[in-house]
Structure 1
Amino acid sequence: MELRALLLLTLLGLLFVEPGFGQRVDMDISEWLSDKIELIKNLEDKLKQLETRQNDSEALEAKLNATVDEVTRQKAEVDGLRKENEGLQTRLNATEMEIDKLKQSGAKSAPQIAFSASLANFGEIYRGPCTDKTLIFKRVFSNTGSGYDPDTGIFTAPVNGLYFLSFSTYGYNTHVMGAILMKNGVGQISTYDNPSVDSSDSSSNAVVLQLAAGDKVYMELWDNGRVFDNLNGHTTFSGFLVFPV
């Protein structure tokens, strides 16, 4: 608006100081004014166009500035996300390396030791009463680490560690039913049932023992005891290494 007013004032000034303006008595005043009014309208139209373009330019500049600000903000966010991703990737790589180390360490420090066997490997078997009370479990289901000897019924600990050991016994009412878990000749836990009016009995027990490499674990009958087994696996002996110590 200031530019428009300035131009109009300048034009009017030129009109009224035009040389000979006062001497043109023979000029058609109406025609002259009409020409000048038309000129003023044309100038006003051009001024409006100029103002519109100026406004458009200012709006475009504002949009451009806003776009630049948005691009700058988004670039900062992308840079931040890139740094965060790099940090996450670094931590992920470190975690994967640590897991690999743990796997390798575990594979070295935790040998795989486990066994499971039942008394009878065919038919039916009654064991006891007898002088040699050691139970020999002939039907071997697993023997990882070869710690169990099916010829003697003895499990020998391959390494120092905590071992989980369990057993079950089954028998009839004519004799004491049960057995004792022995460690190097010393009883640890047991199952036991007196002769009774019921026809049969079964029982089980389990323990975690700390064994040194070379310690021997096996099952013994009670005095005058008897157990029974067949291919159904009623009387069993099992164990595995929990972790080395």
Structure 2
Amino acid sequence: MEFGALLLLTLLGLSFGEPGFVQRDYMNTLEWLRAKVEFINNLEDKLKIFDGWQSDVYALEARLNATVDELTRQKAEVDRLNKENQDMGMRLNATEEEIDKLKQSSAKDAPQIAFSACLSNSGEIYSGPSTDKTLVFKRIFSNTGGYDQSTGVFTAPVNGLYYFTFSTYGYNTHIAGAILMKNGVRQISTFDYTSDDSSDIGSNSAVLQLAAGDKVHMELWDNGRVYDNWNGHTTFSGFLVFPV
């Protein structure tokens, strides 16, 4: 609106000039005005482009700020997880140390029960046939508790699972072998009839659950005989696997 008024006043002013100059000044002014209008239009186009760029910059800045906020949040989460991992590592180390202490304490506190013996403690010995068929193993290799070398009977000191093993050696003149007895009840055995071969050897083993006070011993078969000497052919051993 202001530009149109200005243009009108300019034209009116020129109309009062000299006729020769009026025509020439009018053409020059019109050309100048056209140039200014084109400049203004170009400037407006550039302003529109600038406004578009500014909008893009604002949008980019917003996305950048959002990215920075997300990275900050993620860093805080990573720091939290690292702290949790450190805490878990410390608790794990403490737990492992406690387990090691418990293992050491259990190993020290657990009953240590084991024995191993053979029949002869000197020279040669034939045991059986006899009325008292209990075998008494007199040569002690080890005995940390439970076995009575005067009676040949093992008495369980504590409730638990016990492992027993034995071997027997005999000649063909009698039944060779022996029976593992628990509280007077047959459990396992070795056995061989009289035969043409000169000697027989056998072995057997078992894991028995015993209560404290239960008794285990070895017994001959009826009319049975076993042999031993310093070489330890006829043996009896046992130990506590673990308490129950």
TM range (shorter): 0.5 to 0.7
Partner amino acid, structure 2, of 1:117:
A
Displacement of 1:32 after TM fit? Answer: 3.0
Alignment check: 8 A CA contact 1:138 1:151 kept: no
> TM-score with structure 2 length normalisation?
0.66
Q: Partners of 2:158 and 2:85 in 1: how far apart? A: 45
**Distance change (3 Å), C-alpha of 1:112 and 1:33:** same
Q: What's the counterpart of residue 3 of structure 2?
A: 15
Aligned partner of residue 18 in structure 1, secondary structure: helix
Q: Partners of 1:15 and 1:120 in 2: how far apart? A: 137
% of aligned pairs identical? 48
Q: What's the counterpart of residue 201 of structure 2?
A: 202
Q: Partners of 2:230 and 2:44 in 1: how far apart? A: 116
Aligned partner of residue 146 in structure 1, secondary structure: coil
Displacement of 1:111 after TM fit? Answer: 0.9
Aligned partner of residue 179 in structure 1, secondary structure: strand
1:113 aligns with 2:135: no
Partner amino acid, structure 2, of 1:192:
F
Counterparts of residues 210-229 of structure 1 (less than 5 Å): 210-213=210-213, 216-229=215-228
> TM-score with structure 1 length normalisation?
0.66
Displacement of 1:191 after TM fit? Answer: 2.5
Alignment check: 8 A CA contact 2:127 2:227 kept: no
Partner amino acid, structure 2, of 1:115:
F
Q: Deviations over 1:78-114 (max 9, x none)?
A: 5885797699679858966985796478457631212
Displacement of 1:177 after TM fit? Answer: 0.7
Displacement of 1:159 after TM fit? Answer: 2.9
Displacement of 1:128 after TM fit? Answer: 2.5
Q: What's the counterpart of residue 56 of structure 2?
A: 55
Aligned partner of residue 6 in structure 2, secondary structure: coil
Aligned partner of residue 225 in structure 1, secondary structure: coil
The total of aligned residue pairs comes to 227
- Which of structures 1 and 2 has the bigger CA Rg? 2
| C-alpha RMSD of the superposition | 4.2
Alignment check: 8 A CA contact 1:165 1:238 kept: yes
Alignment check: 8 A CA contact 1:136 1:153 kept: yes
Q: Partners of 1:128 and 1:68 in 2: how far apart? A: 93
Which 10-residue stretch deviates more, 190-199 or 87-96?
87-96
**Distance change (3 Å), C-alpha of 1:105 and 1:221:** same
